[in-house]
Amino acid sequence: MFDNLSDKLDSAFHVLKGHGQITEINVAESLKEVRRALVDADVNYKIAKEFTNTVKERALGQDVLTTLKPGQLMVKLVKDELTELMGGEAEGINLSGDPSVILMSGLQGSGKTTFSGKLANFLKNKKTKKPLLVACDVYRPAAINQLHVVGEQVGVEVYSDEGNQDPVAISKDAIAYAKENGHNVVIIDTAGRLAVDEAMMTEISNIHEAIQPQETLFVVDSMTGQDAVNTAKTFNERLNFDGVILTKLDGDTRGGAAISIKSVVNKPIKFIGTGEKMDAIDIFYPSRMADRILGMGDVVSLVERAQEQYDEEEARKLQKKIAKNAFGFDDFLNQLQQIKKMGSMKDLMGMIPGAGKMLKDVDIDDDAFKGIEAIIHSMTPEERSEPKVINASRKKRIAKGSGTTVQEVNQLLKQFNQMGKMMKMMQGGGGRKMMQMMKG
Ligand code: GDP
């Protein structure tokens, strides 16, 4: 995410390295680079200029006695201003109605249907919500099918009325259906076109008018940069929508849309899409996004994802096993699965400060664990729970079965042993022994 922009901003801050204090000249020089980086990332020139002017004023107005070095100060000021530009605080969606009706709008291909599914899943996981997805694209039967597929994936009912050519009627019927069947959220997926056209605008405005949704969301592909911002403007003029959904942030996005959209339409970005899978959805936090743009990672989101996967019961069982020296390969496999559930490896790595930059040219695929998994799957249940029994001939058999080499099997066994020792240590003498060991 935003690798190019992060790199360029980093070089812009380097201009200040070695300077003992902020001066008008070095600030101007550094900010010229910041502005160039923003414009290259497809941020509108006017916004980029205003941005750097604000940062400049703040930088020069700083007390010279500040404890931060000029480079650090600039990073902080740019971070604060980026956060502000992207909306300051995170904003949720309005779920006040019964049912609360959420209308999705946007161009075809922006990711509306995918996001409708993700949002339904997100709300369903909140336990108190029972969403209904509604297919309102009367032109493309394939789109209706797609929503059914998505609904099935997330276990949410989909309402469609294939013979009906009137999206306003379908929406109204769907809301009535939701009331009768205890759905407290209705998510309406509408037809998009490849480009803004009058017929589409009239149709979506008519639906909007007729059903008066609690929340109208505009979905936009972040890869389209300035176009995304212009489309947002057009939709906003007609719909006065409540929030923006920025999709495909997992791709090679330059960042322009994320940075400029809020200030152009004055509506917050509420969620982001970070992949094709149904769990690739995140609440948009301006300050965390600013951290990511500046290559500072996003530890908060990483910890949150870990917490979502954390199962206290499981953790207790695991602890007992470790204490009894009974942690085996099945448990190891289980742990790997937990990690994988947190998201794609590349996505997770991007949240670790500094790692995103280091790994930007490395193609980490989600099959990174495949070799390890294959080796474990080739072990017998006895070998998994009692790895000690794995002798040379068993190693050969395991390597053959998993399509790996004896060396790779050895390596895994070695890592497994080290992990076992480490876990034992963290359990036993607590962190103190670990600390001593690390100090050497
Ligand atoms: P719609 O025409 O607006 O309903 O768009 P779709 O939901 O059909 O999405 C268009 C394409 O974009 C599909 O291939 C989706 O899988 C893909 N897509 C949607 N959201 C994301 C995302 O956040 N990341 C990635 N990589 N692909 C996405």
- Residue 199, Cβ density class (10 Å: 0-12 exposed, 13-18 middle, ≥19 buried): exposed
Label the pairing between strands 281-283 and 269-273. Answer: antiparallel
For the question of an ipTM over 0.90, the answer is: yes
Residue among 1, 110, 114 to mutate when testing ligand 1 (max atoms within 8 A of CB): 114
Q: Look up tokens 């994936």; give the residue.
A: 153
Mean pLDDT calculated for residue range 181-197: 88
pLDDT by residue (tens digit) across 106-128?
Answer: 999 999 999 999 999 999 988 88
Radius of gyration of the chain from Cα atoms? 26
**188: number of CA atoms within 13 Å, CB side?**
34
Query: What's the pLDDT tens digit per position in 286-333?
Result: 988 888 888 766 666 666 666 666 667 777 777 777 777 778 888 888
Q: Is the confidence at residue 182, as pLDDT, over 60?
A: yes
Band the pLDDT of 156: cuts 50, 70, 90: very high
> According to the model, what pLDDT value does residue 426 have?
61
Look at residue 439 in the predicted model and tell me its pLDDT.
40
Backbone dihedral angles phi then psi of residue 165, each to the nearest 5 degrees = -100, 5
What pTM did the predictor assign?
0.73
Known binding residue 249? Answer is yes
- Report d(CA 414, CA 80) in Å as an integer: 46
286 and 342 in contact (C-beta within 8 Å)?
no
* Residue-wise pLDDT tens digits, 400-428: 999 989 999 998 898 888 877 776 666 55
> In this structure, are residues 427 and 419 in contact, taking their beta carbons and an 8 Å threshold?
no
Quote the DSSP letter at residue 112.
H
According to the model, what pLDDT value does residue 64 have? 45
CA distance 434 to 422: 8
Which segment, 20-29, 63-72, 233-242, 350-359, is predicted with the most confidence on average?
233-242
pLDDT digits (tens, 9 = 90+) for 247-256: 998 877 778 8
Tell me the CA distances in angstroms from 23 to 64, 70, 74, 76, 183, one per residue in order.
10, 9, 12, 16, 60
117 lines ligand 1 (CB under 6 A): no
Torsional class of 185: left (φ above 0), alpha (ψ -120 to 50), beta (otherwise): beta
Nearest alpha carbon, ligand 1 atom 13: 111
Question: What domains are defined for the chain?
Answer: 3-85 (1.20.120.140), 100-294 (3.40.50.300), 304-439 (1.10.260.30)
**Is the CB of 250 within 6 Å of ligand 1?**
yes
Annotated binding-site residue? 106: yes
Ligand 1 touching residue 251 (CB < 6 A) = yes
15 φ/ψ angles, rounded to the nearest 5 degrees: -55, -30
Q: Is the distance from the beta carbon of residue 222 to the nearest atom of ligand 1 less than 6 Å?
A: no
Residue 213 near ligand 1, beta carbon < 6 Å: no
* Residue burial 118-141, b: 16+ Cβ < 10 Å; e: rest: bbbbbbbeeeebbbbbbbbbbeee
Is 190 annotated in a binding site? The answer is yes
Q: Which atom of ligand 1 is nearest to the CA of 118?
A: 20
Q: What is the pLDDT of residues 244-278, one digit of tens each?
A: 999 998 877 778 888 999 989 999 999 999 999 99
**Cα–Cα–Cα angle for 91, 257, 290, rounded to 5 degrees:** 60
What single-letter amino acid sits at 46? K
**Is residue 108 annotated as involved in ligand binding?**
yes
Ligand 1, atom 16, residue with closest C-alpha: 276
The ligand 1 atom at the shortest distance from the C-alpha of residue 146 is 8
pLDDT in tens, 34-74: 999 999 888 888 999 999 999 998 888 765 445 567 777 88
Query: What is the residue whose two structure tokens read 């994802």?
Result: 305
Tokens 């100090």 belong to residue: 439
| Å from CA of 192 to ligand 1 middle | 13
